[in-house]
Chains A and B, each alone.
Chain A
């Protein structure tokens, strides 16, 4: 029933017409959907961040996105910075802590996390995994194992006398061998994931903590902008 009919020769004009026409329709569709959803997506992102911050830095009333520039100075983050940090402020504009994004290779894939830094304690006081594909039941125990989480009550991240590096590298040790405040008590059976967390924190904190300690005070007294949460 579908004997191929003689195809009429298509003119170049009609090919151009079709491709340009469809291209224009598609462009219109994509751009209008992008514009329509832009606001809601930004809202969702902000709400997600706010709930994560509320979990690990409950004292903060609102946050300001910051970044460390190439010279190691703390600056206000531009829109869409890759791995931003956030200064947490209370209602009076005092800085109560910082929340920083860290990323690194875990057991199966990249792990992306947020961790809270306390200026008062010179220590990391909590973390929250944002993205991970660690083995369920093994690698994801880093989020629930009590002795592992206990290391984060006050994980020492104080600076060396020079102020440009951590005094002691943050490191994950074997389960039950934690002796110093900068060590994380590892998890037997989730060795690689728990070590990865230590490494991510060490790499990120070595950059961020010196910048935070030196420059964060300059941001004190800020008031939230209209659009900030």
Chain B
């Protein structure tokens, strides 16, 4: 019973409460594949896609769990159903659209148990979004994830050429960049109304 406007849900998920920069969800792929712009774009696309699938799954599971009054099965059923659905989608994609599979497919197994996906499913349940709001929320979260990944990749490509002390190189530098990005994203707060 959340009646927030659709566009405000989108803006909130993509910018204000960006999954990576405000909730620290999906940091592993964020640092792992954000070294190149090209891979970052594809990873972003793949995550958005899986988020959409997961959001629909989570919404239906939740209906089912409410019907049988078994909230204690939420965690276990979310993770199992989302993981298997993504596997199914991956197989279908390989059969039906090999081109898309080549572009996104190799990332799919990586992100099935990604925290961002699972986090999305939990948050939309906690906020009691209806079906369209859940989908909009998933789209926003996916767009935000892709945006963060692409921005990060852009900065890191430049950073490679800069003269950084040996001690700071690698994860520490990436963390500081992420912190600064996170600060700048705070400027979006208050937009989503």
Interface residues of A (CB under 8 A from B): 26, 30-31, 33-34, 82-83, 103, 105, 107-110, 135, 192, 196
Contacts and interface: CB of A to CB of B under 8 A. Distances in A.
A110 B127 contact: yes
B189 A107 contact: yes
B160 interface: no
B99 interface: no
Given A105-B193, A108-B189, A192-B190, A83 B1 contact: yes
Contact of B128 (A30, A82, A109): A82
Contacts of B17: 108-109
B contact face: mostly helix, strand, loop, or mixed: loop
A66 to B, nearest CB: 16
A105 B76 contact: no
Given A105-B8, A135-B189, 6 more contacts: A31-B72, A33-B72, A34-B72, A108-B22, A192-B190, A192-B193
A48 to B, nearest CB: 17
A135 B16 CA distance: 13
A65 B117 CA distance: 35
Nearest to B126: A110
B134 to A, nearest CB: 15
Interface residues of B, number: 17
Interface of B: 1-2, 4, 8, 12, 16-17, 22, 72-73, 76, 127-128, 189-190, 192-193
A105 B128 contact: no
A105 B2 CA distance: 10
A192 B72 contact: no
7 shortest interchain CB distances as A-B pairs: A34-B72, A192-B190, A82-B1, A107-B189, A30-B72, A107-B190, A108-B189
A192 B189 contact: yes
B12 A105 contact: yes
Contacts of A105: 4, 8, 12, 192-193
A108 B1 contact: no
A106 to B, nearest CB: 9
A142 to B, nearest CB: 15
Contacts of A107: 189-190
A26 B190 CA distance: 43
